[in-house]
């Protein structure tokens, strides 16, 4: 039987850079974009030779803004993926799209090449907040995109939202959630804004935190999201992710539960057979690699890091505990041949005594209070 694999394709282009974004992405000309697509196809072709024993159970085209590419470029990439990899007939195949970059023709092409899930970056339904974030679109643009997405036949749609934005009030956050839930997407991601060093937002706000919602307000927004989305029929299955029954993102769940993943494209990360590595993140250097050359792997794969068993256990705990169902002691035993309570007994007992985790043998999960201070709780699992 083939081993399950998650495939990620990185498309590092955007119309322009959002003020808060530290992802590996930016604007580029048509020529640079088409050259990149060809190079990525070469990478898919050459790297797939190592993965003939695998079956892709999810494919994720992320970015950046993959929907910025021409429909023919996405079709060419997907064609290469299907020719080179064994892709499960039931695979979840997602593309990230931003309002203002998709036409109905593009969406129909996505559907025709097997893409069955789409993730739309809305972030806020308030045009002033969108402008402050440096987004290229308005709420009206999003609505048009959403209608086209449904018209093209997508039955699995995610909408990304963001709280704790400059100038955002509880009322505007609730309004954003309400307007989103009314459209009935199958999945909603709701993250809080993080000030990332090196971004214009960091420069602007790290000495003026009073211009952002405070910690308490941010928490209140999180509680409001949880309560409102529950009312609307969304189950929270991970700290910041909500879905209707059966629509949890399989790609992300795979990541949190330690499935192997292969990242292709600029700067993409991989986790294969217990080893982490990252692709070259410099576009010029990446573009110059001869993918079928003798030194391709050496030039392409940087930061090779085989995880020790201790590191694998740590990841099992702190990624798995992000999920609301938590981690299972039986799975821990199966994977590592050791009893979870022998390895983590002291930590688990302490966290349980402080009501930060809930033990329902064989599973352990974060409590509501544990979720509130999850950074602290998860860090306790570092051995
Ligand atoms: S669209 Fe997304 S990836 Fe692109 S700059 Fe904005 S936040 Fe970053």
CA 15 to ligand 1 centroid distance, Å: 9
Q: Is the CB of 23 under 6 A from ligand 1?
A: yes
Closest residue by CA, ligand 1 atom 7: 21
Q: Is the CB of 18 under 6 A from ligand 1?
A: yes
Residues 15-32: tens digit of each pLDDT: 999 999 999 999 999 999
SS (H, E, C) the chain: CCEEEEEEEEECECCCCCCCCCCCCECCCHHHHHHHHHHHHHHHHHHHHHHCCEEEEEEEEEECCHHHCCHHHHHHHHHHHHHHCCEEEEEEEEEEECCCCCCHHHHHHHHHCCCCEEEEEEECCCHHHHHHHCCCCCHHHHHHHHHHHHHCCCCCEEEEEEECCCCCCHHHHHHHHHHHHHCCCCEEEEEECCCCCCCHHHHHHCCCHHHCCCHHHHHHHHHHHHHHHHHCCCEEEECCEEECCCCCCHHHHHHHCCCCEEEECCCCEEEECCEEEEECCCHHHHHHCCCCCCCHHHHHEEEEEECCHHHHHHHHHHHHCCECCCEEHHHHHHHHCCCHHHHHHHHHHHHHHCCCEEEECCEEEECHHHHHCHHHHHHCCCC
**pLDDT of the residue at 40:** 98
CA 135 to ligand 1 centroid distance, Å: 8
Atom of ligand 1 nearest to the CA of 21: 8
CA 116 to ligand 1 centroid distance, Å: 22
CA distances in angstroms from 55 to 79, 115, 252, listed in the order given: 16, 17, 17
CA torsion 313→314→319→323, rounded to 10°?
70
Atom of ligand 1 nearest to the CA of 20: 7
Which of 15, 61, 63, 161 has the most ligand 1 atoms within 8 A of CB, as the residue to mutate? 63
Atom of ligand 1 nearest to the CA of 63: 3
**pLDDT of the residue at 383:** 80
Ordered strands of the 327-328 beta sheet: 327-328, 363-366, 357-360
* Contact (CB, 8 A) for 274 and 312: yes
Compute the distance between CA of residue 318 and CA of residue 377 in angstroms, rounded to an integer.
9
Q: Is the CB of 21 under 6 A from ligand 1?
A: yes
CA torsion 135→140→146→149, rounded to 10°?
-90
Compute the distance between CA of residue 329 and CA of residue 122 in angstroms, rounded to an integer.
38
**pLDDT of the residue at 234:** 98
Q: Write the CATH number of the domain with boundaries 3-255.
A: 3.20.20.70
Q: Is the CB of 17 under 6 A from ligand 1?
A: yes
- Beta partners for residue 339, in sequence order: none
Atom of ligand 1 nearest to the CA of 134: 6
Compute the distance between CA of residue 368 and CA of residue 160 in angstroms, rounded to an integer.
23
pLDDT digit string (tens) for the chain, length 383 residues? 999 999 999 999 999 999 999 999 999 999 999 999 999 999 999 999 999 999 999 999 999 999 999 999 999 999 999 999 999 999 999 999 999 999 999 999 999 999 999 999 999 999 999 999 999 999 999 999 999 999 999 999 999 999 999 999 999 999 999 999 999 999 999 999 999 999 999 999 998 888 899 889 999 999 999 999 999 999 999 999 999 999 999 999 999 999 999 999 999 999 999 999 999 999 999 999 999 998 999 999 998 999 999 999 999 999 999 999 999 999 999 999 999 999 999 999 999 999 999 999 999 999 999 998 998 999 999 98
CA 69 to ligand 1 centroid distance, Å: 14
* The residue count for the chain: 383
CA 136 to ligand 1 centroid distance, Å: 10
Which of 24, 60, 64, 265 has the most ligand 1 atoms within 8 A of CB, as the residue to mutate? 64
CA 374 to ligand 1 centroid distance, Å: 26
Residues 160-213: tens digit of each pLDDT: 999 999 999 999 999 999 999 999 999 999 999 999 999 999 999 998 888 899
CA 32 to ligand 1 centroid distance, Å: 18
CA 195 to ligand 1 centroid distance, Å: 14
Closest residue by Cα to residue 232 from 183, 170, 168, 191: 183
Q: Token match 């009030």: residue?
A: 169
**pLDDT of the residue at 294:** 87
Compute the distance between CA of residue 229 and CA of residue 244 in angstroms, rounded to an integer.
10
Q: Is the CB of 11 under 6 A from ligand 1?
A: no
CA 20 to ligand 1 centroid distance, Å: 8
* Contact (CB, 8 A) for 245 and 234: no
CA 65 to ligand 1 centroid distance, Å: 7
Considering the chain, what percentage of its residues have pLDDT values greater than 70? 100
CA 106 to ligand 1 centroid distance, Å: 19
**Dihedral pair phi/psi, residue 19, rounded to 5°:** -65, -25
| Fold classification of 324-379 (topology level) | Arc Repressor Mutant, subunit A (1.10.10)
Q: Is the CB of 69 under 6 A from ligand 1?
A: no
Q: Is the CB of 61 under 6 A from ligand 1?
A: no
Closest residue by CA, ligand 1 atom 6: 18
Hey, where are the domains in the chain? 3-255, 324-379
**pLDDT of the residue at 353:** 97
Q: Is the CB of 14 under 6 A from ligand 1?
A: yes
Residues 58-91: tens digit of each pLDDT: 999 999 999 999 999 999 999 999 999 999 999 9
**pLDDT of the residue at 74:** 98
């Amino acid at each position: 039987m083939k081993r399950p694999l998650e495939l990620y394709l990185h498309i590092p282009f955007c119309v322009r850079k959002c003020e808060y974004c530290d992802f590996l992405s930016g604007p580029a000309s048509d020529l640079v974009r088409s050259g990149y697509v060809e190079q990525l196809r070469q990478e898919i072709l050459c790297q797939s030779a190592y993965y003939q024993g695998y079956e892709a159970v999810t494919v994720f085209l992320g970015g950046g803004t993959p929907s910025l590419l021409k429909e023919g470029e996405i079709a060419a990439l997907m064609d290469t993926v299907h020719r080179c990899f064994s892709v499960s007939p039931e695979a979840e195949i997602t593309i990230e799209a931003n309002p203002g970059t998709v036409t109905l023709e593009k969406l129909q092409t996505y559907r025709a090449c097997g893409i069955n899930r789409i993730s739309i970056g809305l972030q806020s339904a308030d045009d002033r907040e969108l402008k402050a974030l440096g987004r290229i679109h308005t709420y009206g643009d999003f609505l048009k995109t959403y209608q086209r997405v449904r018209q093209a036949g997508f039955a699995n749609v995610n909408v990304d939202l963001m709280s704790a934005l400059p100038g955002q009030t509880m009322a505007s956050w609730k309004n954003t959630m309400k307007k989103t839930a009314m459209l009935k997407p199958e999945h909603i991601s709701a993250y809080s804004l993080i000030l990332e060093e090196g971004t214009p937002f960091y420069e602007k706000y790290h000495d003026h935190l009073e211009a952002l919602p405070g910690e308490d307000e941010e928490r209140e927004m999180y509680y409001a999201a949880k309560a409102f989305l529950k009312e609307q029929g969304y189950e929270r299955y991970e700290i910041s992710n909500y879905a209707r029954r059966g629509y949890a993102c399989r790609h992300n769940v795979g990541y949190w539960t330690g499935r192997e993943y292969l990242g292709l494209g600029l700067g993409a990360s991989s986790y294969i057979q217990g080893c982490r590595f990252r692709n070259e993140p410099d576009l010029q250097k990446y573009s110059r690699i001869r993918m079928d050359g003798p030194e391709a792997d050496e030039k392409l794969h940087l930061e090779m890091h085989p995880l020790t068993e201790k590191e694998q256990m740590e990841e099992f705990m702190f990624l798995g505990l992000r999920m609301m169902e938590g981690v299972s002691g039986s799975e821990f035993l199966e994977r590592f041949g050791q009893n979870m309570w022998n390895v983590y007994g002291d930590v688990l007992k302490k966290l349980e005594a402080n009501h930060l985790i809930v033990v329902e043998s064989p599973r352990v999960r974060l409590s509501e209070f544990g979720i509130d201070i999850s950074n602290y709780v998860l860090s306790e699992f570092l051995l």
